[in-house]
Chains A and B, each alone.
Chain A
Amino acid sequence: MLSTPSWRHRWLQFKRRIEPALFISPAFIVIALILVYPLAYSFWLSFHEWTLRGFRKCVPFVGLENYIELFKNPDFVSSLRITTTFVIVAVGIEFVLGMGLALLLHHDLRGRNFIRAMILLPMMCTNVVIGLTWRLLLNYEFGLVNYYLGVLGVEPLEWLSKPAMALPAVVLVDVWNTTSFVALLLLAGLQALPEEPFEAARIDGASAVQSFFFLTLPLLRQTILVVLLWRMIDTFRIFDVIYLLTAGGPARATETVSIYVYRYGFQSFNLGYASAASYIMIVIMLIIAGVLARSIGRLES
C-alpha cells in the first residue's frame, strides 16, 4: 500500500520532467534536421574532397587542405576584400540615411504617414524583382537612370560594366532596398526614448545638435547595435541581388564570398572547397555578431 503513492509520485515527477521535452521535441527535430544536420554535414565536407566526378568512388579526408587552398587563392582573398568593402560602405550609408529618415519621421511632419508608407515600399519587393528591375534601370543603352542623366546633360554611365562602377552600383541598390528597414528600427528606438532628459536639456539650453550627440545617440546605442548587427550579417551574406545585377562581374569586381561559394558549390560542384569557404564566412559572421552582442550585453548590464 505504501508503495503506490511513491510510484505515483515518481511517475508524476518523471512526467513533469519529460512533458516539456515532449512538447518541444517536434520543433527540435525539425531544427535538427534542417539546420543542425546540414551545418554538421557541411562542416564534415569542408575537411573532405567532394567533387562531382569523384564522390561515387571516394570522398577522401584532406584535413585543412581546403582552408589552406582558400587562403592561397587570390580570388577568394579578393572576394573577402570585396565583401568587407561592401558591408562597411553599404551599412555605413544605410545607417546615416536611416538615422536621418528616422529623425525626420520622429517629428510632427505634414504627410508623415504617407512618407512612412512610401519609404517602406522597397522592403515589400522580393530581392529577385529588385535585382531584375535595377538591372534594367541601370542598363547603359536603354536604362532609365542614364536616360534621366542625359536629360540633365550628364554623360551616360557604365554602371554595371566598368569594374570601378559596378560595386558602387550594387551598394546603391542595397542602400535603396534596406535604408527604410534601418530607418524603421531606429524610429522605433527613438519613439521609446524617455522625454525627460530631452526636456531637461532644452531647459539647460542645449542645442538640437548637442541633444542629438549627447542624448539621442547614447540613449539609442542599444537599438543602433541591434540594427548594425542585423544589417552587417544580412549584407555579409548577400547573394541574389548581386547575382542578378552583375553575376559577380565585371572581371570579378563584385564577386562577394557568397557568389564565390555558389560558383564552387553549384557550378563546379566542388562541395568540400565550397563548404570550407562557407565556414570561413560563418566564422567571420560569428566574430562580428559576438563583438556586437557583447556590446549590447554590456549596455544591458
Chain B
Amino acid sequence: MKKVSLSVLVLVAILLAACAPQAVQLPATPIEEQAPAEPVATEAPAEPVATEAPAEPVATEAPAPTEAAAVAETLPEIVVAVWSGPEHDNAVKVAEEYTKKTGNPVVIEEIAREAYFDKLTTTFVGGGSDYDAAYIMSDWPPAWVEADALYPFNEFIEDPNVAMPGLDLSVFGAGADFFTFDGKVYAFPSEGDTAWLWYRQDLLEEKGIKVPETWDEYLEAAKALNSDEVYGTVIGAKPDEALWDFMYYLFGMGGGILDQDNKVIINNEAGVKALTFYADLLNTHKVVPPDVVTYGYNEILTTLQEGKSAMGIQWMAATQTLQDCEQSPKVCKDGKPLLQYVIPPGEKQTDGSIKRTTGGSQWGWGIPAGAKNPLAAYKFIEWLTSKEGATLWAMNGGIPGNTLALSDPEVVAKIPQFALLAEVMPYRQIVPPTTVTSDMVTTINEAVAAAVTGTKTAQQALDDAAAKLKTMLEEAGYPQG
C-alpha cells in the first residue's frame, strides 16, 4: 500500500512539475534575418566598402545617459575565453597591447578545443559569469540567442558615449550578418577564413604536372604523385571533424547543405558526387593515408609537415606553420618552403571556364548574457575588431574580420594569403547557422565517416543524413515541405 501511495505521489509530482499550461511545446521559431544559407552564398568581398547587405551602422540618436561616464575611466578586469591554439596565443599578445594602451585589464583564459563548445554552452546557458567575452563560431549563436544566453551589443553601439567615434559595421562585410538576429548584433566578426589546396611544388615539377584547377585534375595529380614514400593527397574524416574537411569537396563540386529556404539538399546529385569522390580517394584510388578516418586538422598538418603527402586541403590558419622552415624543416629546401598554396579546385564548365565555390568558417567575439562586465567586454571587442586591433591581430598571425585591416597594403604585403582570401570571399560558403547547426554537423560527420569507412555508400550515407536533418530542422521550426 505504502509503495502504491509513493508511486502515485511521484507520478503526481512529475506531472505537476511539467509545464501543464503549455502541454505541447511549439517548435522554436527560426530566427529571422539570419545569415543566408543558400548553397551558393555570395559573401561580401573583403573590401572596405561591402556591396551586399552589411549590417547597417546603427543610428546614434538620443543616447540614454547609461554607463557612458564609466567608459572614460579605467574599466574593470574582464575574462575572455579563447580556445587553445594560435588564436589563444594571438589573443594574449593583442590583449597585452590593449591593456598597455587603455589601462583596462584583460585575462585571456585558454580552453581545450575539444571541450570548448560544451564549456561555453553550459556556462552561457546556465547564466554563468565566468567569462565576460568569448571567441565564438557563427554556428553557435542561433541556439544561444534563443536560450537568451548572449548579450546584444545594440545598447553600446547606439550610445555615442560608449561606441567608438565613427563606428561603422559595414567594415565587417557579410561577416556581421552571421551574428545579427532580429536586428540585434550579438558579436563582431573576426577570422573569416577558408582553406587552400597545398601542393609540393618540387614533386609536381618533377612529374611535369600543372597545379590542379579542377577536381578531375586534382584526382589525376594525386594518382600520379602517389608513391611508396608519399601519398598523393590527404583528407581528414575524423568522427568529430569530417565535415570541416569534406565541405571543401561538397561546396567545391556545387553541392550544399541547405538551400536558401533552409531545405535540406545535401543528398542531391552534387552532394553524392562529392562524397563519392571523397570516399573513393581512400577506397578506390588509395591515394590518401589508410587511417584518414582518424585525421583532423592536426593530423593533416603533420602529414604535410612531415612530407608524407604531395597535396592536401588545409585551413589557412596553417599557412604560417607550413611555410616556416623552422617549424616544417622536412618540406623546405635551401631555406625556402616546398609547399605552396592555391584556391581549391573548381568545376569545369562547358564553356571551359572554372566555376569556383569553396568553404570556410566565420568566428567572432561575443558577450555572454551572464557577463559581469559587459561594457568593459564590449570596449575590448570593439577595439580588437577595429582597424587598429584587427591589424595587430593580423600581424600576429590571425585573420582580421575587419575589411579595412584585411585589405591594408601593409598587412597584405606581410601576409600575401590575404589577397587570395579577398578573391575567395565572394563565393565562400559556411555551414548554415541555424538553431540546430551543431546537431547538423554531427549528423554530416557521421555520414562522411560512414562513406569513407565503407560501411555505407555515399548515396545511402547522405540519404540517411538528409532524413535526420529534415526531422531535426522540422522540429526546430524550419519547414521542409
A268 touches B294 (CB 8 A): no
Given contacts A53-B143, A140-B289, A161-B292, contact A44 B25 (CB under 8 A): no
Tell me if B117 is interfacial: C-beta within 8 Å of chain A.
yes
**Segment among B49-57, B324-332, B438-446 that sits at the interface with chain A:** B438-446
Inter-subunit contact A55/B117 (CB<8 Å): no
Are B146 and A268 neighbours in the complex by a CB distance under 8 Å?
no
Please list the residues of chain B having a beta carbon within 8 angstroms of any beta carbon in chain A.
Answer: 14-15, 17-19, 22-26, 28, 117-118, 121-122, 125, 143, 146-148, 237-240, 289-294, 302-303, 306, 308, 435-436, 438-439, 442, 446, 449-450, 452-453, 455, 476
Cα separation A49 to B26 with both chains bound (whole Å): 12
Given A52-B125, A56-B148, A263-B442, 12 new contacts (CB under 8 A)? A56-B146, A57-B22, A57-B28, A59-B18, A60-B25, A61-B19, A249-B293, A250-B293, A253-B453, A267-B118, A267-B438, A267-B442
Bound: A269/B453 CA distance, A: 27
| A161-B294, A163-B453, A246-B294 known; A252 vs B125 contact (CB < 8 Å) | no
In the complex, what's the smallest C-beta–C-beta distance from B415 to chain A, in angstroms? 30
Chain B residues with CB under 8 A of A269? 121, 125, 143
Q: Give the residue name and chain of the A residue nearest to B461 (CB).
A: A251
Q: Does chain B have a CB within 8 A of A142?
A: yes
A58 within 8 A of B: yes
Q: With an 8 A cutoff between CB atoms, is A248 at the interface?
A: yes
CA–CA, A161 and B237, complex, Å: 10
Residues A252 and B446 in contact, CB atoms below 8 Å apart? yes
A59 and B20 CA atoms in complex are apart in Å by 10
- The DSSP consensus for interface residues of chain A is loop
**Closest beta carbon of chain B to A234's beta carbon, Å:** 23
Whole-angstrom CA separation of A252 from B446 in the bound complex: 8
Complex CA distance for A15 and B121, rounded to whole angstroms: 49
- Tell me whether A52 and B143 are in contact in the complex, defined as CB-CB below 8 angstroms, given that A44-B17, A246-B239, A269-B121 are known contacts: yes
Q: Which 8 A-B pairs have the closest CB atoms?
A: A61-B18, A249-B239, A161-B291, A140-B291, A250-B293, A251-B453, A53-B28, A58-B19
Residues on the B chain within 8 Å of A247, using CB:
238-240
Q: Which residues of B contact A267 (CB under 8 A)?
A: 117-118, 438-439, 442
Distance (whole angstroms) from the CB of B35 to the closest CB of chain A: 17
**Bound Cα distance from A249 to B450, whole angstroms:** 10
- Which size bracket describes the interface of A in this complex? 35 or more
Residues of B with C-beta under 8 A to A58: 19, 22, 25
Is A142 touching B302 in the complex (CB atoms < 8 A)? yes
Question: Is the CB of A236 closer than 8 A to any CB of chain B?
Answer: no
User: Which of A47, A53, A253 lies at the interface centre, i.e. has the most chain B CB atoms within 10 A of its CB?
Assistant: A53
Chain A contacts of B293 at CB under 8 A?
A: 161, 249-251
**A158 at interface (Cβ–Cβ under 8 A)?**
yes
Q: Which residues of A contact B (CB under 8 A)?
A: 44, 47-49, 52-61, 139-142, 158-163, 246-253, 263, 266-269
Residue from B23, B292, B452 in contact with A60 in the complex, judged by beta carbons closer than 8 Å: B23
Are A53 and B239 neighbours in the complex by a CB distance under 8 Å?
no
Q: How far is the CA of A253 from the CA of B450 in the complex (A)?
A: 10
* Chain B residues in 8 Å Cβ range of A266: 118, 121-122
- Say whether A248 contacts B239, CB under 8 Å: yes
Cβ B442 vs Cβ A268 within 8 A? yes
C-alpha spacing A161/B125, complex, angstroms: 35
Nearest-neighbour CB distance to chain B for A186, whole angstroms, equals: 35
Question: Would you call B449 and A52 a contact (CB within 8 A)?
Answer: no
In the complex, what distance in Å separates the CA atom of A155 from the CA atom of B293?
19
| Alpha-carbon distance between A249 and B238 when the two chains are bound, in angstroms | 8
Residue ID in chain A nearest B16 by CB atoms:
A61
For A248, list chain B residues within 8 Å (CB).
239
Partner of A158, one of B18, B291, B450: B291
Within the complex, what minimum Cβ distance (angstroms) separates B27 from chain A? Answer: 8
B122 shortest CB reach to chain A, Å = 8
Judge whether B435 and A53 touch: CB under 8 Å: yes
B24 touches A60 (CB 8 A): yes
- B290 in complex: contacting residue of A60, A61, A158, A252, CB < 8 Å: A158
Q: How far is the CA of A56 from the CA of B118 in the complex (A)?
A: 18
Of all chain A residues, the one with the shortest Cβ separation from B436 is A53
Asked if residues B442 and A53 are in contact (CB atoms below 8 Å), the reply is no
Closest CB of chain A to B137's CB: distance in Å?
A: 14
Q: Which residues of B contact A48 (CB under 8 A)?
A: 18
What are the residues of chain B within 8 A of A56 when measuring CB–CB?
A: 146-148
List chain A residues, Cβ under 8 A from B476.
53
Complex alpha-carbon distance, A163 and B449, angstroms: 11
Which partner residue on chain A sits nearest B445 by CB separation? A249
**Chain B min CB distance to A8 (Å):** 37
23 contacts between A and B (CB under 8 A): A52-B147, A53-B28, A54-B28, A58-B25, A59-B18, A59-B19, A60-B18, A60-B24, A140-B290, A141-B291, A141-B308, A161-B292, A162-B453, A246-B239, A247-B239, A248-B239, A249-B293, A250-B293, A250-B449, A251-B449, A251-B455, A269-B125, A269-B143
Contacts A47-B14, A141-B291, A141-B303 hold; do A53 and B147 have CB atoms under 8 A apart? yes
Give the nearest-CB partner of A269 in chain B: B121
B23 to A53, Cβ gap below 8 A? no
Residues of B within 8 A of A251 (CB): 293, 446, 449-450, 453, 455
**Closest chain A CB from B3 CB (angstroms):** 17
Across the interface, which residues of B come within 8 angstroms of A162, CB to CB? Answer: 453
